[in-house]
Amino acid sequence: MLSKNKIKEIRKLHLAKYRHEQQCFIAEGPKLFEELLQSDFIILEAFSTTPFDLPPHRANLPLQLISASELESISLLSSPNQVFAIVQTPPSNIIYPEKDELILALDNIQDPGNLGTIIRIADWFGIHKLVCAPQTADRFNPKVVQSTMGAILRTQMCYTPLNDYFIKIKDTHLIYGALLEGQNIYETPLSKGGVILIGNESKGINQDLMPYISKQIRIPSYNASNMESLNAAVATGIICAEFRRQNSN
C-alpha cells in the first residue's frame, strides 16, 4: 500500500523539472519493464499490480505490489499497464563513432513523437549512437520512452552543440546532411560509416552547421508540384535504409 505522501512524491516526477532534479525517468508497462530488467539501467523503485520473476542480478530490486487504483494514481498513461518503474538517468557522456560506424546527429528535433520514432528507426537499422543538438527533445521524456519501447534502452545518446562536435570528428568521418537541394541519394555512393545529420522539423539544418557537411544528400521526389518536405522521421528511415542497402555486402 502506498502512503499519500509517497503518491505525492511519485506524482511530482510527472514534471520534467523534478525528474531532472532527481536524475530519473519513468518507464511503464510489462514489456518495457522486462527489457529494463535485462538491461544495465539502475531501477530505483518499481511498483506492480502483479508479481514478477526477477532475474538473479535484480534480486534486490525494490519492487512493491500495489493495487490497480494505486497504479492509476501514479501512472502517466491513460490506460495504466501493470507496472511503473523509476529508473536512474544514465550519465550523458559525449559519444563518438568508431571507424566505419554509422551514427545519427539530430539538429533540434523538437517533437517527442518524432524523436521516439527516430530512435526506433536507429535501433531497427543497428545504429546505436545518436548525437543531439541541445534543443532536441529530451530522450527521457515519458512520451519518448513509451513510444520507443525497448529501443531507448539499446541506444546511446548525448546532447551537445553540433558545431563543436563536428570539429572533432570531421577529419575522420564523413558527415552527410539531408537537404532538399542535396544530391540524389540513389546516385550518391554512401560510405559504410559516418554521420547522418537530420534537421529540425520546420527549420531544417542550421546554417552554422553547413560548413561541416561533407555530402549533401536528398531523397528524390516524384512529384513536381510538391513543395513540402517529408516528415523528419520518415526521411531518416529512408536514408538509413539506403545506407544499409548500399553497404549490405
Residues near a second copy (CB under 8 A) are 113, 117, 120-121, 123-126, 149-151, 154, 186, 219-223, 225-228, 230-231, 233-235, 237-238, 241-242, 244-245, 248
Nearest to a second copy of 74, 233 (CB atom) = 233
CB 4, min distance to a second copy, A: 35
CB 238, min distance to a second copy, A: 5
CB 171, min distance to a second copy, A: 27
Q: Which of 167, 164, 90, 175 is nearest to 134 (CA)?
A: 164
Nearest to a second copy of 11, 154 (CB atom) = 154
Angle at 172 between CA 179 and CA 247, to 5 degrees: 65
Q: Which residue type, as a one-letter code, is found at position 7?
A: I
CB 150, min distance to a second copy, A: 7
CB 201, min distance to a second copy, A: 12
User: Which residues does 212 contact at the CB level (< 8 Å), separation at least 6?
Assistant: 162, 163, 166, 167, 170, 175
* Cα dihedral 220, 222, 225, 229 sign: negative
CB 161, min distance to a second copy, A: 28
Nearest to a second copy of 24, 151 (CB atom) = 151
Nearest to a second copy of 9, 204 (CB atom) = 204
CB 154, min distance to a second copy, A: 7
Nearest to a second copy of 61, 180 (CB atom) = 180
Nearest to a second copy of 2, 182 (CB atom) = 182
Nearest to a second copy of 102, 133 (CB atom) = 102
Beta strand 102-106 with 83-88: parallel, antiparallel or unpaired?
Answer: unpaired
